[in-house]
A = this chain, B = another copy of it.
Amino acid sequence: MERIDHGSVRSSNLGLILRHLRMQGGRSRARIAGGTGLSKATASTLIADLLARGLVTEGEPARDGAVGRPGLTVALDRDRVRGVGIEINADYLALVVVDLLGDVVMETTHAIDIPTRNADEALDEVADLVRPTLRAISAEGRSVVGLCVAAPGTIEAESGQVRFATNLGWRDVAVRAGLCDRLDLRPEMIVVENDAKLGSLAAYAEIARDGIHDLIYVTGDVGVGAGIIADGVLLQGHDGYAGEIGHLPLAPGEGQCPCGRTGCWELSVGLPPFLRRAAATDDPVRDSSRPLEERLGELRERALADDPRTLDALAVTGAALGYGLSLVVDVVNPRALVLGGYFPWFEEWFTRSVDDVLQARMIGHTATPVQVSVSRLGLSAAARGGALLALETVFEDPTAVGPLASPSTSVIDGPAPPRGTP
């Protein structure tokens, strides 16, 4: 149904102006009208609405070449609202807060060993990490427009459940409901999404500046997954499982996967097989009680010092990575491949391995070579992508944020105090 009511036409035009300002930066009302196709009168009315909601500010006279008396510059007000992203991974939680421009204003990670806890305990820890942040945002007079939770595995977005996350040991965990209870939030405030998909949104926000809109982002931890951006849109798939490439049957020698299949690709290119190839069982880099960054840093030092076992592990893993990614490249024809997860610690080796396979498999002279790079966003890429996704609510429908005078009914203006508090 292409049914559009008048209210939604208004909110979609409000969103059009916000997105225009995000893309073009601050400018006069006349140029906003010109750039969006709205009449000047309509644009002025809508801008007054956005000013009342605190989503834009009015500044200096604009010297932007519009005809007539210069108007005042209208620009996004980055500070009225915040988007919050949280990543739940097997060995850490990450929390990222972004402002309306998408810039990170807060970022933290927290070591945790999820598989040794039950899901309820894990969600307690997530809530404990998030709660003070929500309070602090509220205390500053800002509103959280949404909370987006990243998890590795298959997600049922509609119900906000993690259906199957082998590496957390989770099956059918109601993350949204669990966090609604613990943080006293309404369900529509919380989105749950796959970590690789959200990582790809964060990577896309960076790479879009280079004019790249077709992208595969690959994350590698215990599991391996991809987020596929096609013509600027995140590929979801019918059940939301597009990009579940960790279970491609490309490693027949690797035996049984916890997913039930055999020979899954992540058994060959995930972090555990790489560590096994690189070091003996009792090597400190395989001690999972130590922070992952530290262990990866040590392995990187060994590779730079030409340690043969490390280099061999990189070569074997890199070749398998290149082979699998070349298949995905054939299917979706991206402009760029971005390696996240543990791959960036070994940038020189993995980008070359992948490049080599892709180059060897170019068909004639026909396709643009794929640009292979590593993510600079570290382990909190998915949390950052989550925070950005949470923010999209406002760009889709700015009326989700109430006028400054009357508190909004659609955003979190600080969570309610914990139950039982007097």
Is A241 positioned at the interface, with any CB of B under 8 Å from its CB?
yes
Is A305 positioned at the interface, with any CB of B under 8 Å from its CB?
no
How far is B236's CA from A367's CA once the two chains are assembled, in angstroms?
Answer: 13
A237 to chain B, nearest CB (A): 3
Is A405 positioned at the interface, with any CB of B under 8 Å from its CB?
no
Is A238 positioned at the interface, with any CB of B under 8 Å from its CB?
yes
Whether the pair B36, A242 counts as a contact (CB closer than 8 A) is: no
Provide the residues of chain B in CB contact with A334, threshold 8 Å: 237-238
Whether the pair A366, B249 counts as a contact (CB closer than 8 A) is: no
Encode A1-16 as 1/0 by CB contact (under 8 A) with B: 1111110110000001
Interface centre among A4, A23, A331 (most CB of B within 10 A): A331
Flag the segment in A118-126, A322-330, A385-393 that touches B: A322-330
Is A68 positioned at the interface, with any CB of B under 8 Å from its CB?
no
Whether the pair B364, A260 counts as a contact (CB closer than 8 A) is: yes
Is A361 positioned at the interface, with any CB of B under 8 Å from its CB?
yes
Contact (A368, B238) CB under 8 Å given A2-B23, A37-B5: yes
Whether the pair B230, A237 counts as a contact (CB closer than 8 A) is: yes
Question: Which secondary structure characterizes the binding site on chain A?
Answer: loop
Is A106 positioned at the interface, with any CB of B under 8 Å from its CB?
no
Copies in the complex: 2
Considering the complex, give the chain B residue whose CB is closest to the CB of A243: B331
Contact (A333, B368) CB under 8 Å given A35-B2, A154-B363, A363-B260: no
Whether the pair B154, A35 counts as a contact (CB closer than 8 A) is: no
Is A332 positioned at the interface, with any CB of B under 8 Å from its CB?
yes
Chain A residues 237-273 with CB under 8 Å of chain B are 237-245, 247-249, 259-261
Tell me the count of chain A residues lying within 8 A, CB to CB, of chain B.
59
How far is B23's CA from A374's CA once the two chains are assembled, in angstroms?
Answer: 44
Provide the residues of chain B in CB contact with A36, threshold 8 Å: 2-4
Contact (A363, B237) CB under 8 Å given A230-B242, A330-B247, A331-B243: no
Is A277 positioned at the interface, with any CB of B under 8 Å from its CB?
no
Provide the residues of chain B in CB contact with A236, threshold 8 Å: 230-231, 333
Is A135 positioned at the interface, with any CB of B under 8 Å from its CB?
no
Contact (A19, B2) CB under 8 Å given A327-B327, A368-B238: yes
Whether the pair A3, B361 counts as a contact (CB closer than 8 A) is: no
How far is B328's CA from A361's CA once the two chains are assembled, in angstroms?
Answer: 18
Q: List 12 A–B pairs whose Cβ atoms lie within 8 Å, in order of A's numbering.
A: A2-B20, A2-B23, A3-B35, A171-B364, A214-B237, A230-B236, A235-B235, A247-B361, A248-B330, A248-B331, A249-B361, A331-B332
Binding site for B on A (CB under 8 A): 1-6, 8-9, 16, 19-20, 23, 34-37, 154, 163-164, 171, 214, 226, 228, 230-231, 233, 235-245, 247-249, 259-261, 323, 326-328, 330-335, 361, 363-364, 366-368
Closest CB pairs A-B (n = 10)? A237-B333, A4-B37, A238-B335, A214-B238, A241-B333, A242-B333, A163-B366, A154-B366, A239-B367, A331-B331
